[in-house]
Amino acid sequence: MTRALTDTIAAIATAPGPGGIGIVRLSGAEARGVAERVARFHGDVEHPRARYAHRVDVVDPAPPHAAIDDGLLLYMPGPNSYTGEDVIELQGHGGVLVTTRVLDAVLRAGARPAEPGEFTLRAFLNGRLDLAQAEAVADLVAAPTAEALAAAADQLGGRLSGSVRDLRRGCLDLMARLEAEIDFAEEDVPPVPRDEMRRTLERIDETLETILAGADLGMLQRHGFRVVLVGSPNVGKSSLMNALLATDRAIVTEVPGTTRDVVEESFNLDGIPVRLSDTAGLRPTDDPVERVGVDRSGAALAAADVAALVLDGSRALIDADHDAARRVAEAGKAAIVIVNKCDLASAWAIEDAGGLIDAPVCRTSAINGEVDGVREALRALIGDGAPHPDLGTVASLRHKQALERAREELAGAREAAASGLPADFIAIGLRGAVQALGEVTGESATEDLLDTIFAKFCIGK
């Protein structure tokens, strides 16, 4: 953060554009005083009551105090507010101009513009949320599927944080006993029994392993993955895209080269958002427009997580099919092979597809909407890992990496103990695990880390 966290801040808290309501939120020691400079109360009211909706006219703070809007003022005193500070909400009519004018009046009355994520940062710094819960706020807002929403709500509720804190406490307790053993070795302080230590470290490691087992699925639910349809012209890529989306998103004709640019759209795969790209058919061409499309197909392949090689099962394989397969293999992506037009007579054995590229093969008839095989093949690439219902969901690469570092540090501690090394060598690994676990919940968070996390938030959150 580049500005003082003691300032009173303000921002628009609702989405831009016309709407039923527009909210300007303030937080800080002077929030009530700033609000009183722009609010003219209806009735015999001098100061707002806590947690009470007051009818107000929002006015310009400068004479002649021209009216801007008519709405409600809510006052939520700290520390029992979202940020832990005094919070004011001015709720008025939705709309870009009116809400912007209310915010402008508040800023001229003494507040400063909030930076991205500053409200939630203050909630974290004031102990209202830990760091993992604070990150869940942004995930909740951006959740693309019901499953992602449930995972974010679970994280906001503190399930993952509670599990990580328990593990960190276990490490701290063991580390404290080891340090006592080190510091008071000459005062007959009994050493920590190594068998007990081994069991404790194994128990912590097993819990970490269980939490991490569901991390890949958790991150996919949050971020999704990109699938690119690749193949020679007229194999049915656009028809396949329309069938998967259950809508006519891509133009379909019998003319080769109809698709000239990358067409993208998303669909829900069992709770995982999939960004699907239909690309121009891969073939040599003298058409400058089609050539640009082919180049963009290559760029889409490079950016994708999964490459879906589409083949026409009703005609013999051609050089362009082999070339497309070669490009997919060279891209080094996870891949599937889709043999399309299986409603027509087969021109070659489906087993031959395996000779083009080492990848799972499925049959489809996009024209008839028979694409369940594609969904099943994509789902199989994800695997069966699932979050533990009692330990919380890891949906962040940052969390996954911190938990993996904790396991590595604990492995070092276990190896030191097994090798009969002195207690101070064992404690090194424990300290590293405590540091890594604290990065998840925020006990070990640096200022740079906080800046990086909260800079991704929208202003007003």
What is the phi/psi pair of residue 98, to 5°?
-65, -40
Q: Tokens 């470290």: give the residue.
A: 201
Task: State the pLDDT at residue 185.
Answer: 62
pTM of the model: 0.82
* Whether residue 64 has a cis bond before it, omega within 30° of 0: yes
Q: Using the CB atoms, write b or e for 93-132: b if 16+ within 10 Å.
A: ebbeebbebbbbbbbebbbbebbbbbbbbbbbbbebbbbb
Cα dihedral 214, 217, 220, 225 sign: positive
What is the second-level CATH architecture of the domain 9-128?
2-Layer Sandwich (3.30)
Task: State the pLDDT at residue 295.
Answer: 65
- Token pair for 229: 């349809």
What residue segments make up the domains of the chain, in order of their start?
9-128, 137-214+389-441, 223-382
Task: State the pLDDT at residue 284.
Answer: 55
Task: State the pLDDT at residue 260.
Answer: 46
* 330 CB-contact burial (10 Å; exposed 0-12 / middle 13-18 / buried 19+): exposed
CATH 3.30.450.20 fits 223-382, yes or no: no
Q: 444 by DSSP, 3-state: which?
A: coil
Task: State the pLDDT at residue 87.
Answer: 97
If one counts every other C-beta atom within 10 angstroms of the C-beta of residue 280, the result is 27
pLDDT tens per residue, the chain (461 residues)?
Answer: 556 788 999 999 998 888 889 999 999 999 999 999 999 999 888 889 999 999 999 999 999 999 999 999 999 999 999 999 999 999 999 888 999 999 999 999 999 999 999 999 999 999 999 999 999 998 998 888 888 899 899 999 999 999 999 999 999 999 888 888 777 766 666 778 888 888 999 999 999 999 999 998 888 888 889 999 988 888 888 888 888 887 765 444 454 544 445 678 888 888 899 998 888 766 555 555 556 666 677 788 888 899 999 999 888 888 888 888 888 888 888 999 999 998 888 887 877 776 788 889 999 998 888 889 999 999 998 877 778 888 999 999 999 999 999 999 999 999 998 888 888 899 999 999 999 999 999 998 888 888 888 888 887 78
Q: Are strands 306-312 and 361-363 parallel, antiparallel or unpaired?
A: unpaired
Please give the DSSP secondary-structure letter assigned to residue 113.
Answer: E
Cα→Cα distances 392→145, 270, 440, Å: 18, 19, 13
Among candidate residues 150, 136, 371, 145, the one with its CA nearest the CA of residue 239: 371
Helix (H) or strand (E) holding 320: helix 319-331
Please name the residues in contact with 36: beta carbons below 8 A apart, sequence gap of 6 or more: 47, 48
Between CA 380 and CA 328, with CA 322 as vertex, the angle to 5 degrees is 45
- Token pair for 345: 């007579």
Task: State the pLDDT at residue 258.
Answer: 47
CATH 3.40.720.10 fits 137-214+389-441, yes or no: no
Alpha-carbon distance 333 to 448, whole Å? 33
Q: Tokens 């895209």: give the residue.
A: 241
